[in-house]
Structure 1
Amino acid sequence: MTPADHDRIPEIALDWYLVGQGAALATVVETWGSAPRQAGSQLAVSGTGQIMGSVSGGCVEGAVVAEALEAMADGVPRLLTFGVSDDSAFAVGLACGGTIRVLVEPVGEGGARLPPAMLETLVAARAGRQACAYTVALEAWTRGLVRPGQDQAVDARLRSDKSGMEEDGRFIAVQNPGLRLIVVGAVHIAQPLLTMARACGYAPTLIDPRAAFGSAERFPGEVISEDWPDEAMTALAPDARTAVVTLTHDAKLDDPAIMAALQSPCFYLGCLGSTRTHAKRLDRLRAAGVSDADIARIHAPVGLNIGAKTPAEIAVSILAQITQVLRSVP
C-alpha cells in the first residue's frame, strides 16, 4: 500500500537531497482566518525548483519557492508571513483573506539546517507506521523527534492529529501513521472508491478471493489480496489509522472480514447492504457471540444518506462518512 506522492513530502525531500539536488521543506506553522491549508501542511522544494505538496491554495507557493532556493544557498531557515495585512499580500495573492506563517528549512549538514539524519529517522518512522512528532523551536532552531509518552504536549497533539504552535515557542508537526483503507469485495463500487480514497491520502488494499473479480485488468495498479478475508485481514493488521469497508454483502466473504475488523482498533467499519440485509447480518453476528458494543461500531447501510445511486456516488457517500468519523464531526 503506497500513499500518493502529495502525502510523501518528507520522503521526496530526502530523495532530492540524497541524489544531490538539494532540498528544503516548507511547513505551515500557524494560520489565522480562512487560511487555505492547515498547520502541518508541507511543500518540498528541490534545488532545481521542483515542488511537491502545497502550503496554500497556490497563492504563495511562488514566493515560498524563491525563499526556499535562497535558504538552500545560505543555509538559513526562514519564518515567512503571508496575508492581507502583509505588504506583499497583493503580490502573492492570498485571496482567501487569511494569514499564514510558513517555516522554510533547508536540508543539510551544519548551522541551522535540518539535519539529513533527522529527516531519515523521520522517514523511517513514517515507513514503519510509528507515531512521532517533529519539533522545532523557532528562535533557537533546536529540533527533535519525540515519541508517544515522552512529552505531554506532543501526546495531546498526536491524539487530536493536529500540528501547531505551543506557548513555549515550539512548533510541533504531528507525524501519525498514514491512513489506510481495506476494501473487501472487488465490486463496481470498489473501483471509484479506491481511486477517491487514494486522492484523499489513503493507501488502499483490495481483498477478494474471487480471481475473476479482483483482477489487475479491473483494478490496474491496485494492491489486491486473493486470500480469504479473515486471513488477509490478519496479515494486514488494521490499526487505529485504518478504515475497513465490506462490499460483497455475501456472508461467506463479508462476515469473516467483519469479525476480524471488530477484533482490531480500526477507526471505521462500514458494510454494504440494505436495512434488511444488515438485520440478517446482525442476527448472524450476535449468534456468533459479537457484543452489542462491537455491533454499534458498524456503519450500515454504509455511507452517508446523500441519495447516491451510481457506484461513483455511493463511493462518495462512503468516503464522506469515513471522513466524518475520522474527523469526529457531530
Structure 2
Amino acid sequence: MTAQVEVLDLVARMKAAECAFVLATVVRTVSVTAAKAGAKAIIAADGTIVAGWIGGGCAKGAVLKAAREALADGEPRMVSVQPENLLAELGVSAGESRDGIRFASNMCPSKGTMDIFVEPVLPHPSLVVLGASPVALSLAAQARVLGYHITLAAPAADLAAQPDADTIIDGYRLGELNDAKRFVVVSTQGKGDEAALRAAVATKADYHAFVGSRRKMASLRAKLIAEGASAAAIDDFKAPAGLDLGAITPEEIAMSILAEITRERRRGQRAANQSASRE
C-alpha cells in the first residue's frame, strides 16, 4: 500500500468517526522541492501531522498556520511558498493574501516553490433534540436533509415509531456526544420538560432552545435554579425556539427552528466570504 493510499484510507476512517482534520495537498511545485505535486498530509485538530508528508520545514509552518485558520472558519485556502526574490517580483510580502492565495517565504536553500491546497474536513454539525413531540420528530427529519448528525433523546415508551436520527437515546441521559458544532433543542412539550431541560442545561452547545412559551420557561427556570442550576446557563436558552415566521403546524415550527439554527451556524461566514472575494 502506497503512502498516498494510506492517507486516503485514513481520511475515510476519520470522516466516518466524525473527526475534524485538514487534508493538505501539494498541487504545484517549481524547481527543487522535497515534496512533489500530489503529495498529501493529514493534519489533526491539535496541529499535528498524523499521516502523509508535504515536505520539511520550508512549507510546514505556513501550512500548519493555514490549517489552524481553516479549522476555525471552515474555509479552504491556498498557500504558496516561494523564495523571497519571487515574492518581490510578484509585489507581495510573506503573509499577504491575493486572489485567494496566502503567500509565504521559502527560506530553505532549495529555493523552490510549492503551492498547497489546505482543505478542512469538519464533522457534521450536531443537532441534539430532547423529546418525542411532533415538533421534535419533524425537526430531526428536516435537519437530516441539511446534513446534521441527529441525536434524539426521549423515553422509548414515548416513541410510537422509529425516529429519523443517527443516535437514539432512551431517556434524557445524553452521555458522550460527538465532537462538533452543537445545537440543542428541548421539544418535550409537556412530557418530561424539567428532566430534559436539566440535561440540556448541562450540555455545552452553540445554541440552546426550548419549544414552549416564555411563561412556561420562566416556571421551569425557577424550579431548576431552586435545585442549584446556573441561572446564566438557563438564560442562554431561546424560548420560544425559532424565528418568528408565524408558524402553526409542527412542521412549520420545526422549520422556523432550523432557520434560526442556520442563522447561528453561518454567523460570520458570509462576511468572511465577502471579505475574501474582495481580496
Normalising by structure 1, report the TM-score: 0.58
Choose between structure 1 and 2 for higher RCO, CA contacts under 8 A separated by at least 6 residues: 2
Structure 1 residues 210-256: Cα deviation after superposition (integer angstroms, max 9, x where no partner): 52x31326x4x545746221x2x11x426442222111133x72333
Cα distance, 1:294 vs structure 2: 1.4
Q: Residue 205 of structure 1: which of 151, 155, 159 is its match?
A: 151
Ranges in structure 2 where 5+ consecutive residues have no aligned partner:
29-36, 48-63, 80-101, 104-114, 272-279
- Aligned to 2:133, what secondary structure does the other structure show? coil
2:65 — aligned with what? 152
Q: Which amino acid aligns with 1:162?
A: E
Q: Residue 322 of structure 1: which of 261, 266, 272 is its match?
A: 261
Confirm or deny that 1:265 pairs with 2:204.
Answer: yes
CA RMSD of aligned residues (A): 2.5
Distance 2:221 2:264 in 1: 21
Ranges in structure 1 where 5+ consecutive residues have no aligned partner:
1-108
* CA contact 1:216–1:222 (8 Å) conserved in 2: no
Distance 1:117 1:262 in 2: 41
Give matches, 1:1-330, under 5 Å: 115-139=4-28, 140-150=37-47, 151-166=64-79, 167-168=102-103, 169-211=115-157, 213-216=158-161, 219=163, 222=165, 225=168, 227-229=170-172, 231=173, 233-234=174-175, 236-237=176-177, 239-250=179-190, 253-328=192-267
Cα distance, 1:292 vs structure 2: 3.5
Distance 1:128 1:226 in 2: 19
Structure 1 residues 156 and 127: CA distance shift in structure 2, 3 A: same
Runs of 4+ aligned residues of structure 1 deviating over 6 Å after TM superposition are none
* CA contact 1:209–1:225 (8 Å) conserved in 2: no
Distance 1:127 1:224 in 2: 14
What percent identity do the matched residue pairs reach?
Answer: 30
Distance 2:153 2:160 in 1: 11
Q: Which amino acid aligns with 2:67?
A: V
Normalising by structure 2, report the TM-score: 0.68
Distance 2:235 2:218 in 1: 13
Distance 1:125 1:303 in 2: 33
Structure 1 residues 276 and 238: CA distance shift in structure 2, 3 A: farther
- Aligned to 1:189, what secondary structure does the other structure show? helix
Distance 1:116 1:254 in 2: 50
* CA contact 1:208–1:224 (8 Å) conserved in 2: no
Quick check: which has more Rg, 1 or 2? 2
